[in-house]
Structure 1
Amino acid sequence: MTLSIFFVAAMSPLEMFVVSGIIIAISLYLYRRQISWQLSQLLMHMLSNDTETQPTLVSKWLSSVFSHLERYVLQLTNERNGYIETLNAINDAVIRTDAAGKISAVNKACLALFSCQQENLLHNDYDLCQRAIEVPEDHVDFHEVLKKLSVKQRTNLYKSVFHVDMNNRILAIERQVTPVYSGDELIGTVVVLRDVTTAEKLRKRLRFQANHDNVTKLFNRYKFEQRLTDAWHDAQENSEQHALLQMDMDRFKLINDNAGHAAGDQLLRDVANILKLNVRSSDICARIGGDEFAILLYQVTPDIVQSVMNKLNLALKQLPFSASGQVFEVGASIGGTLINAKSPHITELKRQADAACFIAKNKGINNNQLFSQNDDQLMSLQQEPRWAARIHQALESDEFALFYQSIQALDNIDNPKQHIEILLRLQSGGKLLSPNVFLPAVERFRLTDKVDYWVVSKTFAWFEQQPELWQKQVIAINLSGDSITNEHFITKVLECQRSYNFPSSAICFEITETAAIADMNLARQMVDRLQMVGFNIALDDFGKGFSTFSYLKSLPAQYIKIDGSYVEEILTSESDHSIVKAIATMAKTMDMKTIAEFVQCDETMNLLSDLGVDFVQGYGIALPKPLADYHKTEPIH
């Protein structure tokens, strides 16, 4: 207090006025920095120009204080300018608002985004400024954001995205609002606006790729199964009825292999367009595999489902598709099943559609089938996936059993060797199951090469232990069409044979003629590889399906097995009699042996002998027996 009185007593009136002004200037400093600084400068100028008053202790002290203040204010000014330069160097638009949403500061990037001057933004409502540039449907009210940020539970960040029409170019802008608090009170926000157009496009592309097939742009399996699950729940909860269609392209592999993958992809795109044109926009189409498609039809009746499948088959039949100078016939097998409150779970539902599709495929090219609980064949096929697992188990645990059936020579002088055919059984629950039970599942799930190789390897191993039979025996082993056109399978068979000593000529591979001609060139190549090491070849079920005598020349073989359908009624059918006679005659001219299947009686056997057939086989000749019981003294009828 004494010091204060001393200073006041020592001051001249002008000094007292200046000191009072400086105190006021300092007090104003935090409020209006520029005004207080100018006021301080003015007052000190007045003091320094007072020529009537000699410098006193007070004036010297004031000069020292002012010098320190000047340096401090200059430092703060430089820092402030540095902050402004840094803010303007940021490419993102940065905006400072007060707690009411009024704009108090912006950077240059913000002015560029809003295409205006600083005075047009300062002290204006931010929400109105954003509304002026954004696409209306994207608007998120800024005042609602402020309400959320002002609650006691503090939020560190609030993000949203809106779109701006900038010179007819739509930009995606991410808005990031960071609150500024003083204690528990919201005193303002910092808003950062960032152009995320490129990132948004990338996210959209990644989302599209995650849910869509790259070739056809239809939904992929993952997305389709999500929609299928939703449809199933809708049917269960709301008693709606929908439908699931599964469509497999016919002969797609043939087109893809002959015309190239580019042509195959174009065909897939054409098929996708046909699907979209022939179903409603509300229905779902997807590509779920290489040549497999799926369709989800909403709110339909069985008649509508059948109509859609028929329409799709017709559209595919009329699709003109050509590539590499070739014209290809296009078709598809379509299986459908209804989805309603009585439907089983989705896994069983897909099996129903798959079973119906399989039946459609067996009808011939470009057909369809709607699943029905009253169809025994469809119900049996529905259980086949369980058989697939069972077959894998049987292969791993050696639960298959080899049987044989004797083939009798009608002229023992010309054909002195004993012939048998290897048959397969499955051991299950103390019973032996015939191939009719499990082979459909083997073929459907493409396990034929695995089963065939099991039979080949086990037969080779057994025959290796019977050296006394090597020069007296011919063993026939069945190979499916898939196996005979599988290069890897043929290579494995040849490698297996090299590990044994028995003569290859003692083995005859029977291939189904109809399967072999599905890819004649490849089948011919594989047959040549087998014959080069001495194996014999037989064409099984000859005459079945679309066979012609020209196949005898295209696919050279040592044996022809005449299909049993021509043998069963040969005693009463003149046409069957003529066909068998023609086959036998043609085979002899080409130095091939003939084997007639399904022979049931001696009368049939004698007639076949008269027609020139070389061998007979059937239940009238010999019943199948376990291979383990075979011995070299097996009688010949």
Structure 2
Amino acid sequence: MRGPGLDEAKWHASVVFRSVSRSHSLSSDPIDSDPRIEIKALQERISALEERRDRDAALIQKLQAALTNDLGSDSWLAICDSDGRIQRASSAVEQASGFSLAEMRGHKPSELWSSGQMDDNTYRELWTSLERGEPYRNVFVNRRRNGELFLVDQTIAPVHAEVGEEGDVARGQVTSYIAMGRELKDLNEMARGLRYLALVDPLTELPNRTLFNDLASRAIARARRQERLLAIVVVDVNRFVYVNERFGVEIGDQVLVRVAERLRVLAGEANVVARVGGDEYAVLLSDVDSVEDVVLFADRARHELALPLTIGEHEVLLTVCVGVSVCPDDGDSTEQLVSHASMALSKARRRGRGECVFFKERMNSEAVEFLALKEGLYTARQRDQFAMHFQPYFCLRTQSLAGVEALARWHSDSLGWVSPSRFIPVLEDTGLIKDVGHLLLEKACAQLKRWRDAGLDVPMAINLSPQQVGDEDLLVDLLSAVKRHGLQPADLVLEITETTVMDDIDQASELLRQLKRHGFAVAVDDFGTGYSSLSYLRQLPVDVLKIDLSFIRELTGGGEAAKIVNAVISMAHGLELRTVAEGVECDEHLDVLLDLGCDAGQGYLWSRPLAAEAFAQQFASCFESKTSAPP
């Protein structure tokens, strides 16, 4: 090593004693063909390197001072020359190894305290990292002079010449290696240290690749048994080398930690985030219900990680590429899914920064469609493109109008009329459903008030999504809406799907009691598609059961559907609940339902969902003559 003082700021050390950071060659970046841009870029790089040199020179001086002042008995600190031979060492190294500094100087550590207990892969990883200019951390099993084994939690890092000195040292050449750490003396501490470093990334405290693969294997087996979807998402920070070049390795490490934190928040506690490379992360999504959930996560990751990071006085801007594989479509083993996600990531990198690619092209098409719908829905909310259509339901016995259901509709500038079965799930997946649901509630109440003034005296049914049901402000919003439009709670029938009710029976029961207490009527929608039982229905303060259309369509076949519908109607009447059959399309359906004693029906037999004006015209006879023409 050149000069013990190291006070000439001529050395560059890519070393941080708690991480394994990634560095790259400048030559990997294409230089713009415009000479002015090229000169400017080179000037910026020179400036960045000079700043980094000054910071790292100061770091080396601190290390030198640490050697001089000895940092205390438990601080393992040693400096080797470019051939790996020891030049200086702290007293902690002498005490742990049993060799004096005079005996150590000029020897390689492997010649003094190699235990033979470390496998060849460890040393290959060590030298691979050092040759790339990266620090390497591990727990090393060594042997003292007296033959006893001892463990050192140690980081080893290369030191590079930043500029030549007297022409005999080339810039960027490794001039020495620094090792810093501490001896693990307590048996429990040794065990924890070995296991921790074997499974956890010490910088971000995320699982490393080994632990991630183990957790993925377990999750895949569980998903296979439960026939559930699972995905592996690999996220790579684009051009992270420039963060290190511009701000230094210490800031770079903080960036990696912040990226890890953002991914953890996005993934949630039920999913796993790991750091599997220098600037590469993997996310195991096992708590997802659909491919759309995976697409949404990948899209959010791209956008969230592109938000500025403020670290000290610095603002860092990042972009990421994302590769995705899905189980079981892309494989049913950890090896296959990780490999395919990595292949997708490679394709994303080739396409450019900020890209997200699924392994199978079909899923890329689905992802593109989903994201297009998502962006279109945001635009629709801003431009007020959502509308309400209305479908009546009738008393089967008298054939009189019994009520009207308000249904959301969306007309896109580019897609035309979009089916609710396509856009409602996207609203739910993106969280837009609460905002749009509030908007639609206002539209429905405003229309009902106009019809009330025109003499239409029937209730209006409004659908509530699972997210709205879970919103603690729902009751306040409902009461505010009816009051604002001069209505009463009894004017509305709030429809909640059976699945939503059964997902959290206790929460749903409490909400339904509150709604009933304030005068709202409540209907359980799509009844028969979930898993309600008579005992559960007795607990629920509801007024109406709406029988799912999948049963009504098969009524005329004389099979199980008629028996199920008969049982539902009998059960509902036993609990003093009214029944409404959905999807009534023909006279045969009507005849069977009348025989079974169903109270009301809704479907194309009477009317498709209609815009407000068309509804008023078609059912003008249902309005009393309070105005010249119902709006």
TM-score for the superposition, normalised by structure 2? 0.51
Structure 2 Cα separation of the partners of residues 579 and 107 of structure 1: 82
- Give the Å deviation of 1:487: 3.3
Distance 1:335 1:175 in 2: 30
Query: For the Cα contact (< 8 Å) 1:408–1:636, is it kept in 2?
Result: no
Shift of 1:492: 3.6
AA at the equivalent of 1:168: L
2:568 to 583, 590, 614: 583
Instruction: Give the Cα separation in 2 of the matches to 1:182 and 1:337.
Output: 48
SS of the equivalent of 1:133 reads: helix
Equivalent residue number for residue 540 of structure 1:
525
1:405 correspondence with 2:391: yes
Match of 1:225 in 2: 234
Aligned to 1:315: none
1:421 and 2:405 aligned: yes
Match of 2:381 among 383, 395, 416: 395
1:511 aligns with 2:492: no
SS in structure 2 of the partner of residue 425 of structure 1: strand
Q: Deviations over 1:419-462 (max 9, x none)?
A: 11111111113732221232343344454444433322321233
C-alpha distance in 1, partners of 2:366/2:85? Answer: 74
1:468 aligns with 2:447: no
Taking the aligned partners of 1:105 and 1:614, their CA distance within structure 2 comes to: 92
Extract unaligned runs of 5+ from structure 1. 1-85, 140-158, 230-263, 273-283, 295-299, 313-333, 354-370
Tell me, yes or no, if structure 1 residue 562 matches structure 2 residue 541: no
Query: 1:383 maps to what in 2?
Result: 369
The alignment partner of 1:210 has SS state of coil
Q: 2:206 aligns with which of 209, 212, 219?
A: 212
1:4-54, Cα deviation, whole Å (9 max, x unpaired): xxxxxxxxxxxxxxxxxxxxxxxxxxxxxxxxxxxxxxxxxxxxxxxxxxx
Partner deviation per Cα, 1:138-160 (whole Å, 9 max, x = no partner): 99xxxxxxxxxxxxxxxxxxx99
Which amino acid in 2 is paired with 1:425? R
Verify the 8 A CA contact 1:87 1:94 in the aligned structure 2.
Answer: yes
Q: Structure 1 counterpart of 2:150, which letter?
A: R
**Is the CA contact (8 Å cut-off) linking 1:213 and 1:287 kept in structure 2?**
no
Aligned pairs for 1:29-48 (under 5 A) are none
Distance 1:535 1:409 in 2: 20
Secondary structure of 2:389's aligned partner: strand
What is the SS of the residue equivalent to 1:472? coil
Counterpart position of 2:112: 133
Partner of 1:168: 149
Aligned equivalent of 1:250: none
Change (3 A) 1:111 1:352: closer
* Cα-to-partner distance string for 1:266-324 (whole Å, 9 max, x where unaligned): x989xx9xxxxxxxxxxx99554584699xxxxx9x99965649x99xxxxxxxxxxxx
Report the CA distance between 1:177 and its aligned residue: 9.2
Report the Cα distance in structure 1 between the residues aligned to 2:497 and 2:467, rounded to whole angstroms: 10
Q: Match of 1:537, SS? A: strand
Given the alignment of the two structures, is residue 597 of structure 1 paired with residue 582 of structure 2, yes or no? yes
Change (3 A) 1:134 1:474: same
Aligned pair partner of 1:454 in 435, 439, 445: 439
Question: Deviation at 1:576?
Answer: 3.5
8 Å CA contact 2:157–2:177 kept in 1: the answer is: yes
Structure with greater Cα Rg: 1
Q: Deviations over 1:447-502 (max 9, x none)?
A: 44444333223212333445526881200111234433443444543444454431
By how many angstroms is 1:506 displaced? 0.7
> SS of 1:212's equivalent?
coil
Q: How does 1:162-561 map to 2 (within 5 A)?
A: 165-166=143-144, 168-171=149-152, 172=154, 195-197=180-182, 207-210=201-204, 212-213=206-207, 217-218=211-212, 225=234, 287-288=283-284, 291=287, 308=333, 345=348, 352=358, 373=362, 380=366, 383-412=369-398, 418-429=402-413, 431-445=416-430, 447-468=432-453, 472-561=457-546
Cα distance change on mapping 1:133 and 1:529 into 2, 3 Å: same
Question: Taking structure 1 as reference, are residues 378 and 543 closer, same or farther at Cα in structure 2, changes over 3 Å only?
Answer: farther
Q: 1:106 to 1:511 in 2, by over 3 A?
A: closer
Q: Which moved further from structure 2: 515-524 or 504-513? A: 515-524
Letter of the 1:562 counterpart: I
Change over 3 Å in CA distance of 1:197–1:593 after alignment to 2: same
C-alpha contact 1:541 1:562 (8 A) present in aligned 2: yes
Distance 1:617 1:101 in 2: 83
Task: Specify the code of the residue in structure 2 equivalent to 1:391.
Answer: L
Please list the CA deviations of residues 52-81 of structure 1 after superposition, one character each: whole Å capped at 9, or x if unmatched. xxxxxxxxxxxxxxxxxxxxxxxxxxxxxx
Give 3-state SS (helix, strand or coil) of 2:555's partner.
coil
Contact kept, 8 Å, 1:453 with 1:489, in 2: the verdict is: no
Q: After superposition, where does 1:12-161 map in structure 2 within 5 Å?
A: 115=98, 126-128=105-107, 132-133=111-112, 135=114
Cα distance 1:441–1:352, how it changes in 2: closer, same or farther (>3 A)?
Answer: farther
Q: Relative to 1, partners in 2 of residues 1:561 and 1:169: Cα closer, same or farther, differing over 3 Å?
A: same
- 1:126-180, CA deviations, whole angstroms, 9 ceiling, x for partnerless residues? 42386653549999xxxxxxxxxxxxxxxxxxx999977555324448799999x
Residue pair 1:494, 1:530 contacting (<8 A) in 2 also:
no
1:502 partner SS: coil
Deviates more, 1:419-428 or 1:437-446: 437-446
Q: Is the 8 A contact 2:348 2:355 kept in 1?
A: yes
Query: For structure 1, which segment, 616-625 or 164-173, has the greater mean C-alpha deviation from structure 2 after superposition?
Result: 164-173
For 2:424 and 2:366, the matched residues in 1 are separated by 13
1:335/1:532 Cα in 2 relative to 1: closer, same or farther (>3 Å)?
A: farther
Equivalent residue, structure 2, for 1:74: none
Give the Å deviation of 1:379.
5.6
Does structure 2 retain, via aligned residues, the 8 Å contact 1:557–1:592? Answer: yes
Greater RCO (Cα-Cα under 8 Å, separation 6 or more) = 2
CA drift of 1:625 comes to 1.1
| Aligned residue identity for 1:218 | F
Identity %: 21
Partners of 2:165 and 2:466 in 1: CA distance: 82
Q: CA deviation at 1:522?
A: 1.4
Is there any run of 5+ residues in structure 2 with no aligned partner, and where?
A: 1-65, 124-134, 170-174, 185-192, 217-231, 239-267, 275-279, 295-324, 624-631
Contact persistence 1:485–1:516 (CA under 8 A): no
Secondary structure, aligned partner of 1:556: coil
Deviates more, 1:462-471 or 1:620-629: 462-471
TM-score (normalised: structure 1): 0.51
Distance, in Å, in 2 between the alignment partners of 1:93 and 1:553 is 70
Equivalent-residue separation in structure 1 for 2:355 and 2:583 (angstroms)? 39
- Paired residue type of 1:622: S
Q: Secondary structure at the match of 2:496?
A: strand
User: How far apart are 1:626 and its partner, in Å?
Assistant: 0.9
What is the alpha-carbon distance in structure 2 between the residues aligned to residue 102 and residue 485 of structure 1?
A: 65
Contact 2:94 2:100 in 1 (8 A): yes
Query: Residues 106 and 212 (structure 1 numbering): CA distance in 2 closer, same or farther, change over 3 Å?
Result: closer
Q: Closer, same or farther in 2 for the Cα pair 1:467/1:303, shift >3 Å?
A: closer
Cα separation, partners in 2 of 1:524 and 1:129, compared to 1, 3 Å: closer
RMSD: 6.1
Whole-angstrom distance in 1 between the partners of 2:69 and 2:371: 65
